[in-house]
Structure 1
Amino acid sequence: MRPERLRDVDRRLLSLSLVVVAALFVRFVGLGTRVFHWDEGRVGYWTLRYADSGIFEYNPIIHGPFLPLVNSTVFDLLAPTDAVARLVVALVGGLLPLAAWLFRDHLDDLEVVALGLLLAFNPVLVYYGRFMRNDVLVAAFSVFALGFAIRAISTRDVRRLYPAVALVALAFTTKGNALLYLLCYAGATALVVDHLLVRARREDRSIRGTVRGWLADIWRTLRHSAGGEDGSTQPQLATHRRTVAWTAGHAVGLAITFLAIVVWFFAPRPTLWAALSDPSLLPGVFQEATAGSARELVDLWMTGDMQEHDYLEYAFGLASTMANAAAVVSVFAVVGMAVDTLGGRNRLFVAFCFYWGIASFVGYPAATDIEAGWTATHVVVPLTVPAAVGLAFVAREFLAGIDVAALRDRLRGGSGRIVSEDTVAVSLAGILLLGALAGVLVPTATYWNSTNPDHTELVQYAQPQNDLRESLDDVEAIVATHEDGPDVLFVGADHSTRGSTFYVANESDNDQKPAGSGWYDRLPLPWYLERAGAEVESSAPDTDPAEVADGAPPVVIAVAEDREALSPHFDGYVVREHEARLWGFRIAIFLDEDALASAARPVPS
């Protein structure tokens, strides 16, 4: 592009585009190197089962149907690898900085770019943007939905509500806490309205008159959009009717948009396909996809014991994650809110996002069922807006104290003064910027692909350590070359201190949800075994080790406590131990040396 044409491009959009390229690079590089987490293995396995059987029903315990249904198509196009399974999340997370463009009417140029940078490189968003979970998806869809809704209000263009509603529907297909986003939006809006009413009272305007003015403005906007502009020669009644009909038509259109997406994703398969050829089945499919799915979610999260935990423990865990992996956003959000308020700008959008973030920080420890770093995603995202205001303020103060001409002269060998007289302020701003840069780069590099058991402030407990990868590759290679009988045996012997761990009486029970109880202890291994096409069996807890070894397949997997009792009966097997979680759950993998040789993978010395 020629320089004169480059000037015509919006520099904010160009800057955000470059940020997105960098964000995608950070998320895509080495995307498959971390071993699957327990949750990733569970969702990945059921995705493979759906691709094989064509049977899928919504199950709230693995969250929304978005990832299984979308990834089944992605697997058909590419391959069911760890990297490909995380590809959709990485893509959506990498595009999230573009949401800053939708808020350009409420942020200045530097703040828009700062917001894009914070969304691109926050360590929490980077780590879980490389993770096959729904948290980044629900956050991204909800933020883009908010952006389009705000654009619709700013431009008074109802057409922008359609992508907003579609994105809200997509958010619900990813995770049930999309409802919490809407509740936070409603709460933050109530506080903003309160701000406006307080402001009206200070200006000696009545609350009733202010509210009437708002309603009148909404009606004028609707009337204008419906074609009944002021000064029209149409009778007033006809104008009112046209406006009401136009509004009702769009309300129906928005409802259809929302329901179409929800039904498409939540409808059970293959019943949905049958209903497309037999319309008499459509009412039942619609009911199951809407009311039925909502009932399942309520039964799991509202009437069960999912939230029976110590609030303070979970709140402290979230605070630890924010302090270690989101300190820059946390600190600069306070700075930004203070600057915006004390500086007299008092922007409602900045206050809205700050209140949203605080509500999320207070509410999620009560709402979540597991203490995990991914919860911070839903606090970080709203706080990036006031943080962008704070970061832009500090950057502006720093740049204001630098004499650019003198800097150019210094670079050419000159000796002029490049800093203004207020060296303390410029130095402080520079230190804060360097601290912000370090506060992003260091934890991003630290947590980027971590399975370190010392990183529990962000890495969740059910993450295996990466040394498991070599053994998984060997198992898949053995399965690919083994022909006769079962390929893998899971062992739960009577001397095990873990009882019936791994044991499932009938392995076919694992073909559809819910699987046998011992199956869940195997995660994330079922994902790797299913994609390899392995035939799997398990031994009963009271089986004698000698019987286990009699006719055993080339791969045998047991808890590490059983290794000593099993090893004497497995001559010709190499044994490796791995942490199947961050700590406290070691497994022993027995690999037949002859099978390894046949698979053309050397036996480690």
Structure 2
Amino acid sequence: MSAPRPSNLPAPFDRLSADGRTLLALAGVTVAALLLRLYELGGRVFHWDEGRVGYWTLRYAASGQLEYRPIIHGPFLRIVNAGVFEVLPATDATARLVVALVGGLLPLSAWLFREHLDRGELLALGGLLATTPLLVYYSRFMRNDVLVGGFAFVALGFAVRALDTRCVGYLYPASVLLALSLATKANTLLYVLCFLGAGTLVADHRLVRRVRGGEDLSAALRAWGSRGVDELRTAAGDRHPAAFLVGHALGLGLAFLAVTVFFYAPRPDLYQAVGAPGMWGGVLSEATVGSARKLTDLWLSGSMQDNPYLQYVGHEAETLIHTAGVLLALAPVGAAADWYGRGSREGAADAGADAGEGAGGGKIRVPTGRNRALVAFATYWALASFVGYPAATDINAPWSAVHIVLPLSIPAAVGLTYLVREAASAVATADRETAALAVALLLVVGAGLVGPNVTYWNSANPDHTEMVQWAQPHNDARSTIEDVEAVARTHEGGTDVLFVGIELPSREDTFYVDDESAADQGGAPGGWYDRLPLPWYYERAGAEVDSLPPDADYDEALADAPPVVIAHEDDRETVAAHLDGYRATAHELRLWNFEVVFFVEEDALETARERGAGGA
């Protein structure tokens, strides 16, 4: 037996196994990811999409009324954030908190793949999940994409652990996480299709290799089936295999159903059913069949597929190049290294030294071969997502690339580890040319991760559109929005905020809503959407809001105007002529071409400031 290798680690860390040190390092990466997402989380003004979901969350919290509307995705954020707002004040930061936590904890999920990735690759995967600019930006954004993708990614990790350990218990958190993913967005169905497709391809490759090795196809299939039956019997123990299988299938189904019903059941019907068992049939039907019907009706309407596919593909590629270029470059390296390479250097170097080591989380079985199923699976998954998402999405937006970046991170982690080891090997053997090339590539990788994160930090800049979706207001609107909130909190009696409707080529009734209450329950007339994200801010301030139709008589309508009037820039001079004693400030509520003027009464603002009623 060889003597143990000397260690330069401090005594407490030296006593940890290699696996324990890996897990501790992943925990450190996760803490850094959380800090990166939580720091200045409320620094960017709400995006339009954040504004509408935030407004409907506040309305749900106030009214207790909620039902599933597929056009605004799953009810997860509205339900969970309503609970958050019972504990914490409703701010931009607290509204984004749940998404930031899920995105920040994602690097820790790399540990679930420890049977398939070596220690360096696990840390690289955690690091890429922590720092890839697209994931950082949309983990700091109150939208469902990081949630649906993150929950599905971790669900896959638990399913992989179940296969690795032959422990069916891992499938229960996988079932719950998959249900949580579905509660955020119907994209979960695309994840399941990608998983099935990628899994089929990986199984087919293995089968083809066995046949090419001289084994008969039917014999190979029989061998797989026989091994599956033997493993089922071993797992069942004293129970009958059929009873074991059916029992766990029911348990997994019930776990999935319980989460799905909790989120998709209409409110307050769900809570009323607790005291009235006769309501459960209707509640369960509406949460499952009813929700599925609504989603199907939306999908079959044709509006979700009415997009120029090639244009969307090109936009997806551009987004990936600018916001996840490092992963896009490293993933082919990792896939090729795994396919054609000789496996893990760490496996060759450490297999003997690590023999006999154990860790509380389970010993990492360092892969020493090539053509690993996980790497191939993730590569196929990423390719399917790149091809499929431009066809499935109805909005040409950067956030859809999140669903490509997540699977891409696995082969990219393999590629990054390969480059690091090649650089270390070249330095050790004094191969200056190779070492210089590898180090240069690693510096480019570092710049590709740090640069965009710095550029897009709380950005609302029209020059940075690859990451920032066009409906993002400029950050200079923050102070004016806070002034309006302050005035709304202190103004007593009547309308606090009045929107002046206008006819524009994009919408004839911009800003105008005939019935303000029509926007309360997850849907709204067209003109209301042009106000976003302002409804979120004014709802939390308790403002009384009204609007004028585009053909209104301003002499009459503005004769006794409320303390805040909001109009489009094209109406600025006309409206200003009727508002003496008002301060006018213009802001872009999109990245470009949608300038809005805020008229705030000077006396009302002075009163609000004296009372200290600033925005939250």
Structure-2-length-normalised TM-score: 0.91
Among 254, 261, 274, the alignment partner of 2:252 is: 254
Q: Give SS of 1:375's match.
A: helix
Q: Give the equivalent residue in structure 1 for 2:375.
A: 350
Q: Is the Cα–Cα contact under 8 Å of residues 317 and 371 in structure 1 kept in the other structure? A: yes
Residue type at the aligned position of 2:260: V
Q: Give the equivalent residue in structure 2 for 1:532.
A: 541
Q: Is the Cα–Cα contact under 8 Å of residues 142 and 181 in structure 1 kept in the other structure? A: yes
Among 215, 224, 231, the alignment partner of 2:234 is: 224
Change (3 A) 1:489 1:496: farther
Change (3 A) 1:396 1:487: same
Q: Give the equivalent residue in structure 1 for 2:576.
A: 567
Deviation at residue 218 of structure 1 after TM alignment: 1.5
Residue type at the aligned position of 2:520: D
Deviation at residue 496 of structure 1 after TM alignment: 9.8
Among 547, 554, 557, the alignment partner of 2:563 is: 554
* 2-structure distance, mates of 1:56, 1:493: 31
Q: Give the equivalent residue in structure 2 for 1:416.
A: none
* 1-structure distance, mates of 2:290, 2:440: 55
Q: Give the equivalent residue in structure 2 for 1:583.
A: 592
Q: Give the equivalent residue in structure 1 for 2:356.
A: none
Deviation at residue 348 of structure 1 after TM alignment: 1.1
Q: Give the equivalent residue in structure 2 for 1:415.
A: none
Q: Give the equivalent residue in structure 1 for 2:526.
A: 517
Deviation at residue 100 of structure 1 after TM alignment: 0.5
Q: Give the equivalent residue in structure 2 for 1:487.
A: 496
* 1-structure distance, mates of 2:84, 2:337: 46
Q: Give SS of 2:586's match.
A: strand
Residue type at the aligned position of 2:440: I
Percent sequence identity over matched residues? Answer: 56
Among 82, 85, 93, the alignment partner of 1:72 is: 82
Deviation at residue 6 of structure 1 after TM alignment: 4.8
Change (3 A) 1:498 1:385: closer
Q: Give the equivalent residue in structure 1 for 2:390.
A: 365
Equivalent pairs counted in the alignment come to 574
* 2-structure distance, mates of 1:165, 1:315: 32
* 2-structure distance, mates of 1:327, 1:174: 27
Change (3 A) 1:495 1:303: closer
Q: Give SS of 1:589's match.
A: strand
Deviation at residue 304 of structure 1 after TM alignment: 2.9
* 1-structure distance, mates of 2:26, 2:71: 36
Deviation at residue 31 of structure 1 after TM alignment: 0.4
Residue type at the aligned position of 1:221: E
* 2-structure distance, mates of 1:481, 1:569: 23
Q: Give the equivalent residue in structure 2 for 1:292.
A: 290
State the Cα RMSD in Å. 1.6
Please identify runs of 4+ aligned residues in structure 1 that moved more than 6 A.
494-497
Q: Give the equivalent residue in structure 1 for 2:473.
A: 464
Deviation at residue 2 of structure 1 after TM alignment: 6.8
1:8 lines up with 2:16 in the alignment: yes
Q: Is the Cα–Cα contact under 8 Å of residues 502 and 511 in structure 2 kept in the other structure? A: no
Deviation at residue 471 of structure 1 after TM alignment: 0.6
Q: Is the Cα–Cα contact under 8 Å of residues 497 and 561 in structure 1 kept in the other structure? A: no
Among 124, 130, 138, the alignment partner of 1:120 is: 130
Structure-1-length-normalised TM-score: 0.93
Among 18, 34, 56, the alignment partner of 2:66 is: 56
Deviation at residue 519 of structure 1 after TM alignment: 1.1
Deviation at residue 349 of structure 1 after TM alignment: 0.8
Among 408, 420, 423, the alignment partner of 1:395 is: 420
Among 434, 448, 451, the alignment partner of 1:442 is: 451
In the TM superposition, what whole-angstrom CA distance separates every residue of 1:239-290 from its partner, at most 9, and x where no partner exists?
A: 7xx1111111011000000000000100000001111111111011001000
Give unpaired runs (5+ residues) of structure 1. Answer: 229-238, 404-419
Deviation at residue 594 of structure 1 after TM alignment: 0.5
* 2-structure distance, mates of 1:556, 1:303: 38
Give unpaired runs (5+ residues) of structure 2. Answer: 1-8, 343-369
Choose 435-444 or 205-214, whichever is displaced more. Answer: 205-214
Q: Is the Cα–Cα contact under 8 Å of residues 493 and 543 in structure 1 kept in the other structure? A: no
Q: Give the equivalent residue in structure 2 for 1:376.
A: 401
* 2-structure distance, mates of 1:286, 1:351: 39
Q: Give the equivalent residue in structure 2 for 1:453.
A: 462
1:25 lines up with 2:30 in the alignment: no
* 1-structure distance, mates of 2:507, 2:185: 32
In the TM superposition, what whole-angstrom CA distance separates every residue of 1:503-547 from its partner, at most 9, and x where no partner exists?
A: 111222222232233211111100000000000111122112222
Q: Is the Cα–Cα contact under 8 Å of residues 201 and 207 in structure 1 kept in the other structure? A: yes
* 2-structure distance, mates of 1:253, 1:55: 31
Q: Give the equivalent residue in structure 1 for 2:189.
A: 179
Deviation at residue 494 of structure 1 after TM alignment: 7.1
Q: Is the Cα–Cα contact under 8 Å of residues 574 and 590 in structure 1 kept in the other structure? A: yes
Deviation at residue 569 of structure 1 after TM alignment: 1.1
